Amino acid sequence: MYPIAIVRIVLVCALGATLAACADDPSAPSYVLRSDDRPGQPIGQLTEAQQLQFDRGDGVFSQVFREQQGLGPLFVRPACANCHEGDGKGPGIVRRMALVEADGFTPARDQSPLRFGSMVREQFVTPATQGWVPFEGNSALRVSQRFGPAVFARGWMEAVDAREIERVAAEQAASGGAVHGRVARLAEGRIGRFGLKATVATLLDFTANAFQGDMGLTSPMRPMELANPDGLTDDAHPGVDLTMEQVEDTAAYVRTLAAPVRTGLDPRGAALFARVGCASCHTPSMATTADFPLRAMANTRAEVFTDLLLHDMGEGLADGVTDGPAGPRDWRTAPLVGVRFLRNFLHDGRVRTLDAAIRAHRSNGSEASPSVDAYTALSAADQTLLLDYVRAL
């Protein structure tokens, strides 16, 4: 939904400058919305039943859960929308811990001192007496943060044909260049597509995980509270906290969120995007499966600007965390669809301009370094064309 913050930021922009100038400033929060172009809308062609489910899921997504409804015992934030405001990125974050070697990103062999997992879950409700926080004074502990990414257009990512992901990976390998993404093959055999390190195959699984891990809300899919320092197995709401319908509705809401409208793309920008190699990883479109349950997304192309593959992004972007199929320097190519709605860029939100985001792709060992070099070698005018193109995606 459209939180109050949008209105506030628009007002701040309007006070400081004209709205147009504000929108053109890449360092300004990009939450300047046109009335015909805002996240939070469903895709077209929904049946009445699907529209009703979208509306119910929308309600759960923005609901602030309370203790009596099963929040906790430990949690990070009480609402999905806290970390995906306006279906966009942040402001809520998740902090992750890793025990690392002296280089700061190679994971130490023994992670067992992180007894309750690598996720910082600082907040707690009774009967818990403590959260799970980084232990201080341990020089081997690296704490990093991840912004909740945008959730719009994720249905399109789910619709992408698994064979298409494998095909693109094979194509990158065959090209013999620096870019060689890896399919995020999960232990169960499916391909991971969701999460910044592609750890989860479906939106339903991701939603159930988010309820459990970020909010301490158990469901028929994830009936156990996660381990915590008090050893609690339940909270103020006895038993499983959510119904299967609530989890399904929330996942369906995310699945049917439309991709932001895209207009006026300059073909010169598109050509530069391909020429400097952005398009190798940020694949403009991917073929979808013929049997995807939502007709509008089946047997067509998903214009998500990601290959859904894991890439070695080098030491500069490493966080020391091993997550399922992904190593401490690996990240799934970030989908650039709707990038103009993001408040900051990269997994930890370290930069606020597209130019800085591109330059941060370059570091020791990064598959993207040659692409950054090609970008910085462009004339200033061509760089602007490229950035304008990315901003319009």
Name the residues that contact ligand HEC, by CB under 6 A: 61, 76-77, 80, 82-84, 92, 94, 146, 148-149, 151, 154, 179, 194-197, 203, 206-207, 210-211, 214-215, 250, 254, 276-278, 280-282, 311, 313, 317, 331, 333-334, 336, 339, 342, 345-347, 354, 357-358, 361, 367-368, 371, 375, 390
Write the DSSP symbol of residue 80: H
Three-state secondary-structure class, residue 84 = strand
Q: Give min distance, CB of 39 to ligand HEC, in A.
A: 13
How many residues belong to the chain?
393
- List 70's β-bridge partners, or say none: none
Smaller CB separation from ligand HEC, 67 or 139: 67
Residue 82 or 218: the one with the smaller Cβ distance to ligand HEC is: 82
Q: Report the alpha-carbon distance of residue 171 to residue 252 in Å, rounded.
A: 32
Residue corresponding to tokens 């009596």: 68
* Minimum gap (Å) between residue 262 Cβ and ligand HEC: 15
DSSP assignments along 166-185, one per residue: HHHHHHHHHHTSS---B--B
Q: Which is nearer to ligand HEC, 258 or 346 (CB)?
A: 346
The pair of structure tokens assigned to 289 is: 């499966």
CA 189, CA 200: separation in Å to the nearest integer?
11
Tokens 């399109």 locate to: 156
Chain-centre distance for alpha carbon 226 = 22
The single-letter DSSP state of residue 35 is: T
Minimum CB–partner distance for residue 14 and ligand HEC (Å): 26
Q: Which is nearer to ligand HEC, 11 or 170 (CB)?
A: 170
- Nearer residue to ligand HEC within complex by CB, 237 or 282: 282
Compute the least distance from the CB of residue 274 to ligand HEC, in Å.
10
Contacts with 335 (C-beta within 8 Å, 6 or more apart), sequence order: 150, 153, 157, 282, 304, 305, 306
Give min distance, CB of 267 to ligand HEC, in A: 16
CB nearer to ligand HEC: pick between 13 and 390 = 390
Task: Give the nearest distance from C-beta 110 to ligand HEC in angstroms.
Answer: 22
Find all residues with CB under 8 Å of 300, minimum gap 6, and list them: 287, 288
Smallest gap from residue 235 Cβ to ligand HEC (A): 16
Question: Least distance in Å: CB of 80 to ligand HEC?
Answer: 3
Nearer to ligand HEC, 280 or 288 (CB): 280
Cα(first)–Cα(last) distance of the chain, in Å? 21
By C-beta, is 17 or 63 nearer to ligand HEC?
63
Residues 6+ apart with CB under 8 A from 87: 1, 39, 40, 150, 151, 152, 257
